Structure 1
Amino acid sequence: MTTFDERENAFENKFAHDEELRFKVAARRNKLAGLWAAGLLGKSGADADTYAKSVVIADMEEAGDEDVVRKLAADLGAKADEAAIRAKLAAFDAEAKRQIMTES
């Protein structure tokens, strides 16, 4: 194997690792956001976990965060506007990164 091939494999492996990490952080962020929203909706325990999973699944509808924001905004109604939801997602993104990095 040549040095070029080794470098190519290293870049491919790094890309795959970075994408996997990005996916895990997004899923964790969405779970945290779902648990936050569940609390606002008065859900707890298994109901809160089920709701949080539905938020994670909602992120699979389209690329980006708009599908998650749309679901949370529709579910929360007057309890949180889109700006508050986006702010929470940003905060939960930082928390999700911290959690994932400490687990690895």
Structure 2
Amino acid sequence: MSKETTMTFRVEPDLRASFRDVAESEHRPAAQVLRELMRDYVDQARVRKSTISPAERKRREEAVNYGRTSVGLEGLKLSKADEQHAQRFINGEIELDEFIKIRNESVQER
């Protein structure tokens, strides 16, 4: 990964010294440790964001079931890929806008 930007921030001198000492004792560059901490923070935020409440999961499941029924009344059936996509939405892995976008793209490909 190429370095594209520099980040400057303020930190207490004691914290900076302790951080540097620990990184050096582990034979790791401080910048590498900070990048790892940043990546972990971003990953954790994604997990927190994708965690939905039981009520929201139920609401999503009901909406998908309504769609399945509507499609079924037209004499059609969802494909396996469509079902997997719907399950990702129900599970909170994707939001409604992404759910619709992916669905529309798959229809255009057919």
Fold shared by both chains (TM-score > 0.5): no
Tell me the TM-score normalised to structure 2 length.
0.31
- Name the structure where helix makes up a greater proportion of residues: 1
Higher relative contact order (CA 8 A, sep 6+): 1
Tell me the TM-score normalised to structure 1 length.
0.33
Q: Which has the larger radius of gyration?
A: 2
